[in-house]
Amino acid sequence: MGTTTTNGNKGGLPVKLTRKDYQSDQDVRWCPGCGDYAILAQVQKVFAELNINRDETVFVSGIGCSSRFPYYMNTYGMHSIHGRAPAFATGLKVSRPDLNVWVITGDGDGLSIGGNHLIHCLRRNVDLKIILFNNRIYGLTKGQYSPTSELGKRSPSTPLGSTDNPFNPLSIALGAGASFVARSIDTDVKHLQATLKRAAAHKGTAFIEVYQNCNVFNDLTFINVTGKDVKADRQMPLTHGQPLVFGKDKDKGIRMTPNGIPEIVSVGDGDGQVPLSEVPLHDETVADPGYAFMLGQLQHPNFPVPIGVLRAVEAPTYDEMVADQIQLAKSQAKATDIESLWHMGDTWDAGSTAE
Amino acid sequence: MQSQQESASHTPIPAANPIEEVDTVVIRFCGDSGDGMQLTGSEFTKVSALAGNDLSTLPDFPAEIRAPAGTIAGVSGFQLQFSSRVVFTPGDQPDVLVAMNPAALKSNLEDLKKGGSLILNTGAFTKGNITKATYETNPLEDGSLDGYKTYKIDITKLTKECLKDSGLNSKSIDRCKNFFALGLTFWMYNRPIEPEVESINKKFAKKPELAKANIQVFKAGYHYGETAEVFTESFEVRAADIPPGRYRNIMGNSATAIGLVTGAQLAGVELFFAGYPITPASSILHELSRYKAFGATTFQAEDEIAAACAAVGGSFGGAIGMTASSGPGIALKGEALGLALSLELPMVIVNVQRGGPSTGLPTKTEQSDLLQCLYGRNGESPMPVIAAMTPSDCFYTAIEAVRIAIKYMTPVMLMTDGYLANGSEPWKLPKKEDIKPFPTTFRTDPEGYQVYARDEETLARAWVKPGTPGLAHRVGGLEKDALTGNVSYDPHNHEAMCHTRAAKVMAVQNSMGELLMNGPDQGDLLMVGWGSTYGAITKATNLMQDEGYSVSSCHLRWIHPFHPKLGALLKRFKKVVVAEMNLGQLVKVLRAEYLIDCEPLCKVQGKPFKVIEICNKIAERAGKVS
Ligand code: SF4
């Protein structure tokens, strides 16, 4: 990312930027108490910390509560149409690889109406950062169940409870071959900041699912895993190179049974326990997506949910490959002036000899 | 250019066969879709172009890639009119029909001119094929071909005979038979064979054994015509008196692609084209993907919607975003086009129309998307709509689309159709100095920048490239404040913005070229057309003017907004007839716009108008000049 340099300050030393520098002049209009505020704040803080150039950054969003995000960032921005942000962003990034492009979407926008664009963007590995605000509800349209709502969800459109199985955003991203996949939580300020930084540094599509509380239509939907008193036992914090352990005393671990199914084990040197040395170390860089997919499938209540970076692998980006092809075509072209394009193929002279 | 006599001298014509001079010929090659009729047709086109004829072509192929062999559904055809005069259409009725199997004969015979020549491959007239073509009796024997000059030739067998020592398997041998037919027609029209030999060598460069076989069969066909004394005469069509210059045979979609690239270069901006495969628009994507060195970046999106959205993304980044599709795809793009016009970003959308509704007739032509292009979006969403008239005019219309898009900061709908897309004609290549550049200015000055402040003349807002220091701004599909561009729900602001967006599109009238008129600007009857009907309407009008009818024609390049002189012109005629390949869409708009009575002449058969159909209408509606 060639964006950690100056910030439009004319020539002088880089100034220390603050969150304020990334705030636009527009009033933020989310409901008071909405998790979106926290995410906006962390993005602005991280941008300030990384000294990201405002003028070279574009936020693109679709439709939904979260998609108002670009209006509040003092960067270039486009609030587009429902579900299509990855497609706009792809066009932008491919034609302007020099820009730093972020996509803001939600569970309805990104996984329902725009599911197709999201998976294709991920499989292409366009160099975009995608933050999916998952609140498991349609907020802006007043509370219908979403593709991440749990089975049986009661909502205005499902008075007797929904009858569809939810999507797991991480599995979708990993299934589409995403090169960077992470999960974080709106209220976990430090973790969210760290995850945003990792995404900002990743080359290729970076996908972050953020658990976001919609206190108006789906309050406390993640409380079973984010609650202060339960989170140690119900979250599996992922750190590259560290063992897959969780619990307040790090005394529980995840490992695979011989037939490839994850299981929870008690970690320690006692009877019936598994020594720490035998608990697998988390490796984000495993080329085979199967490992990360296994992690992504860990779900409450049977397992702790993974929080952190599941996968971060290096892969050529789509925009880079397109640029390379153009470069190659230009270097091999016999002529690039427009007249030679007109004259391509069989031409002949006529008219002069006609009687 | 070599004269006809010189080229012919390479291949002397036996004295027994007199050469008759004719000025215009319409020939149609038809056969099974596996028979290579498109190739045969385009090769014959090439040699006719080289001979200096003016010409126009009409390929006609089935929607299925390989419909069951021998069936009517699988028939593919290619029609060509070539002439020593100016040609406007591929011709109403073939003078010569080459039919490679019974199904091709069955589905094409009714078009052949009475007394026309019919070349039949009798080898394909097996019992099975005759049944598959739904004939009850063998047409070769039941007298149904009386009234035509029928040449029965067992092309299948002659091809086999010719290649028996080639070492090719029988399937490959059978696939060479179209070149026998091509050879025959080369002899009939006294064409030099050397350029064709060269062309085959080039085409099959990677498979020299096939090149050799095809050349052998091609020559065999030619010599068969010469020596078998099946044909009593051969013909010559002299070079046409066309403006001197360098020519290239061009199909509409190629011309569109080249025009888009040219437009972007004239504007001095990068071109970003996003498409999704759809008949008959796909070849625009194919062509542009080969023009990377000329500044074209292409993207095959996951769907039609994404293609339109990606193009808007490209425009936001400072490239000219483009997409192309056909009716069904245009329907899917509608919402993104609404966003483009609300963001007021330049963009070009090409609609290569085909038969509708729904999947309709993918490989056939129609003009029934006009109202869709004009109005097919939610809200008050005006957009300039322009249409190309001929295959080579697609080039100029594409440039015009780019010009309007950037000058007025608006998406522009460029309409062509399947007939233009796949049809071809000689294109006199322009000189660079003939085409005026229209350089783009991007705003870079942060001083006093307001996102929706407008140019007084064009009402366009400034185009700003992301990355420009100090100009960071946000735009979106929500209604915007008329000046700052910030979200605004103010009722009066919204009304003002709706009016402004409409007025901006109307401002395109200030920079239009001349209205295209053919004939006096007043009289009994004005024939009005738009798009690919140009050739048929113009030819018919010319013919009827020669017959003494009081008729003129006017062809519309700009459909929204209309040309500022159109209203007055319409009122100077007693009657107005609009010929279009739909059930009367332009007619509706003209009536609404000008409160005049105009009458539709409609055709929705998936086929272009015949000149005669328009002549008949003119005869009905126009009086003779006294
Ligand atoms: S509806 Fe829910 S998600 Fe939307 S702004 Fe309000 S609290 Fe946030």
pLDDT digits (tens, 9 = 90+) for A277-306: 999 999 999 999 999 999 999 999 999 999
Same domain, A58 and A194: yes
Whole-number Å distance, alpha carbon A293 to ligand 1 midpoint, is 30
Res B7: pLDDT = 38
Query: Domain for residue B264, yes or no?
Result: yes
Last residue of a domain, one of B183, B201, B236: B236
Whole-number Å distance, alpha carbon A216 to ligand 1 midpoint, is 6
Same domain, A237 and A256: no
User: Does residue A76 sit at the B interface (CB-CB below 8 Å)?
Assistant: yes
Residues of A in contact with B470 (CB under 8 A): 8, 55
- For residues B214-232, give the mean pLDDT: 89
Q: Is B514 exposed, middle or buried (0-12, 13-18, 19+ CB in 10 A)?
A: exposed
In which domain, by residue range, is B150 found? 4-236
Res A13: pLDDT = 55
Token match 């153009």: residue? A326
B584 near B600, Cβ under 8 Å? yes
Instruction: Choose the closest CB to B476 out of A78, A94, A342.
Output: A78
Count of CB atoms situated within 10 Å of the CB of A241: 9
User: Does residue B426 sit at the A interface (CB-CB below 8 Å)?
Assistant: yes
- For residues A108-129, give the mean pLDDT: 98
pLDDT confidence of A206, banded at 50, 70, 90?
very high
What number of C-beta contacts closer than 8 Å exist between A and B? 223
- Range in A9-13, A113-117, B543-547 with the lowest mean pLDDT: A9-13
Count of CB atoms situated within 10 Å of the CB of B194: 11
pLDDT confidence of B14, banded at 50, 70, 90?
very low
B442: closest CA among B315, B343, B321, B342?
A: B315
CA distance A309 to A314: 14
User: Does residue A80 sit at the B interface (CB-CB below 8 Å)?
Assistant: yes
Q: Which amino acid is at B49?
A: A
Q: What is the CATH number of the domain that holds B456?
A: 3.40.50.970
Interchain proximity A95–B272, CB inside 8 Å:
yes
Distance of CA B129 to the CA centre of its chain: 33
How far apart are the CA of A276 and the nearest CA of chain B, in angstroms?
A: 46
pLDDT confidence of B5, banded at 50, 70, 90?
very low
Same domain, B38 and B138: yes
Q: Does residue B461 carry a pLDDT above 60?
A: yes
Token match 């996951």: residue? B302
Q: Which of A63, A107, A145, A216 to mutate to test the pocket of ligand 1 (most atoms within 8 A of CB)?
A: A216
Same domain, B218 and B291: no
Q: What is the CATH number of the domain that holds A294?
A: 3.40.50.970
Residues of A in contact with B339 (CB under 8 A): 80-81
Within 204-223 of B, beta carbons closer than 8 Å to A belong to none
Q: Does residue B52 carry a pLDDT above 60?
A: yes
Q: Which amino acid is at A354?
A: A
Res B2: pLDDT = 35
Q: Does residue B82 carry a pLDDT above 70?
A: yes
Whole-number Å distance, alpha carbon A219 to ligand 1 midpoint, is 10
Q: What is the CATH number of the domain that holds B57?
A: 3.40.920.10
- For residues B279-284, give the mean pLDDT: 97
Residue from B45, B256, B290, B292 to probe the interface with A (highest A Cβ count within 10 Å): B292
Interchain proximity A353–B272, CB inside 8 Å:
no
Instruction: Choose the closest CB to B299 out of A81, A94, A351.
Output: A94
Interchain proximity A325–B292, CB inside 8 Å:
yes
Same domain, A134 and A247: no
Q: Does residue B6 carry a pLDDT above 50?
A: no
Interchain proximity A55–B472, CB inside 8 Å:
yes
- For residues A20-25, give the mean pLDDT: 96
pLDDT confidence of B66, banded at 50, 70, 90?
confident
Residue A102, strand partner residues: A59, A129
The proportion of chain B whose per-residue pLDDT surpasses 90, expressed as a percent, equals: 92
Query: Domain for residue A255, yes or no?
Result: yes
The proportion of chain B whose per-residue pLDDT surpasses 70, expressed as a percent, equals: 97
pLDDT confidence of B17, banded at 50, 70, 90?
low
- At B66, give phi and psi (nearest 5°): -135, 80
Res A14: pLDDT = 61
Q: At CA B78, angle to CA B73 and CA B83, rounded to 5?
A: 155
Q: What tokens appear for B89 in the block?
A: 């259409």
Res A352: pLDDT = 57
Query: Domain for residue A70, yes or no?
Result: yes
Same domain, B423 and B311: yes
> What does pLDDT average to over chain B?
94
For ligand 1, what atom is nearest to the CA of residue A65? Answer: 4
Residue from A327, A342, A343 to probe the interface with B (highest B Cβ count within 10 Å): A342
Same domain, B226 and B260: no
In which domain, by residue range, is A267 found? 243-280
Query: Domain for residue A134, yes or no?
Result: yes
For ligand 1, what atom is nearest to the CA of residue A135? Answer: 3
Query: Domain for residue A9, yes or no?
Result: no
Same domain, A232 and A273: no
C-alpha neighbours within 13 Å on the C-beta side of residue B223: 9
How far apart are the CA of A117 and the nearest CA of chain B, in angstroms?
A: 7
> What does pLDDT average to over chain A?
94
Residues of A in contact with B249 (CB under 8 A): 346
Instruction: Choose the closest CB to B248 out of A76, A326, A347.
Output: A347
Whole-number Å distance, alpha carbon A101 to ligand 1 midpoint, is 24
The proportion of chain A whose per-residue pLDDT surpasses 90, expressed as a percent, equals: 92
Query: Domain for residue A12, yes or no?
Result: no
SS3 B370: helix
Q: What tokens appear for A165 in the block?
A: 């199985």
Same domain, A258 and A226: no
CA distance A34 to A37: 6
Same domain, B265 and B353: yes
Same domain, B261 and B407: yes
CA distance B398 to B184: 39
- Residues 6 or more apart from A280 whose CB is under 8 A from it? A243, A244, A254, A255, A256
Atom 5 of ligand 1, residue of closest alpha carbon: A30
Res B78: pLDDT = 96
Interface predicted TM-score (ipTM) of this complex, two decimals? 0.95
Last residue of a domain, one of B185, B206, B236: B236
CA distance A83 to B227: 69
Same domain, A93 and A234: yes
Res A350: pLDDT = 82
Same domain, A269 and A197: no
Res B4: pLDDT = 36
SS3 A20: helix
Same domain, B299 and B438: yes
Whole-number Å distance, alpha carbon A37 to ligand 1 midpoint, is 10
Q: Does residue A11 carry a pLDDT above 60?
A: no
Query: Domain for residue B161, yes or no?
Result: yes
Residues of B in contact with A94 (CB under 8 A): 272, 297, 299, 310, 314
Same domain, B220 and B344: no
Q: What tokens appear for A47 in the block?
A: 């941008």
For ligand 1, what atom is nearest to the CA of residue A215? Answer: 7
Q: What is the CATH number of the domain that holds B536?
A: 3.40.50.920
Whole-number Å distance, alpha carbon A205 to ligand 1 midpoint, is 26
Domain count, chain A: 2
Atom 1 of ligand 1, residue of closest alpha carbon: A139
Q: Which parts of A63-187 are beta strand (E)?
A: 76-79, 100-106, 128-134, 137-138, 144-145, 180-185
Same domain, A173 and A136: yes
Last residue of a domain, one of B215, B236, B257: B236
CA distance B551 to B537: 11
Res A260: pLDDT = 87
CA distance A211 to A185: 5
B432 near B253, Cβ under 8 Å? no
Same domain, A44 and A166: yes
Same domain, A191 and A253: no
Same domain, A232 and A266: no
Same domain, B430 and B506: yes
Res B64: pLDDT = 79
- At A236, give phi and psi (nearest 5°): -115, 95
Query: Domain for residue B626, yes or no?
Result: no
SS3 A180: strand
Q: What are the pLDDT digits (tens) for B477-498?
A: 999 999 999 999 999 999 999 9
Query: Domain for residue A329, yes or no?
Result: no
Whole-number Å distance, alpha carbon A32 to ligand 1 midpoint, is 8
Within 430-459 of B, beta carbons closer than 8 Å to A belong to 430, 432
- At B602, give phi and psi (nearest 5°): -110, 150
Domain count, chain B: 3
Interchain proximity A355–B1, CB inside 8 Å:
no
Same domain, B265 and B393: yes
SS3 B317: coil
Same domain, A270 and A220: no
Atom 8 of ligand 1, residue of closest alpha carbon: A34
Within 41-70 of B, beta carbons closer than 8 Å to A belong to 46, 49-50, 52
Atom 3 of ligand 1, residue of closest alpha carbon: A214
Query: Domain for residue A132, yes or no?
Result: yes
Whole-number Å distance, alpha carbon A153 to ligand 1 midpoint, is 18
Residue from B202, B316, B399, B484 to probe the interface with A (highest A Cβ count within 10 Å): B316
Instruction: Choose the closest CB to B472 out of A76, A120, A348.
Output: A76
For ligand 1, what atom is nearest to the CA of residue A29? Answer: 5
Query: Domain for residue B529, yes or no?
Result: yes
The secondary structure of A297-346 as a DSSP string is T--TTTSPEEEEEEEE-----HHHHHHHHHHHHHHH-S--SHHHHHT-S-
Residues with CB under 6 A from ligand 1: A 30-31, 34, 36, 65, 135, 139, 214-217
Query: Domain for residue B241, yes or no?
Result: no
Query: Domain for residue A13, yes or no?
Result: no
Same domain, B277 and B253: yes
Interchain proximity A88–B473, CB inside 8 Å:
no
CA distance B75 to B4: 34
Same domain, B507 and B522: no
Task: Measure the CA dihedral B471/B473/B479/B482, to 10°.
Answer: -20
Cα dihedral sign for A34, A39, A42, A43?
negative
Q: Which residue of B has its CA nearest to A22?
A: B472
- For residues B106-135, give the mean pLDDT: 96
Q: What are the pLDDT digits (tens) for A34-88?
A: 999 999 999 999 999 999 999 999 999 999 999 999 999 999 999 999 999 999 9
Q: What tokens appear for A172 in the block?
A: 């979708």
CA distance A325 to B293: 10
Residue from A78, A124, A326 to probe the interface with B (highest B Cβ count within 10 Å): A78
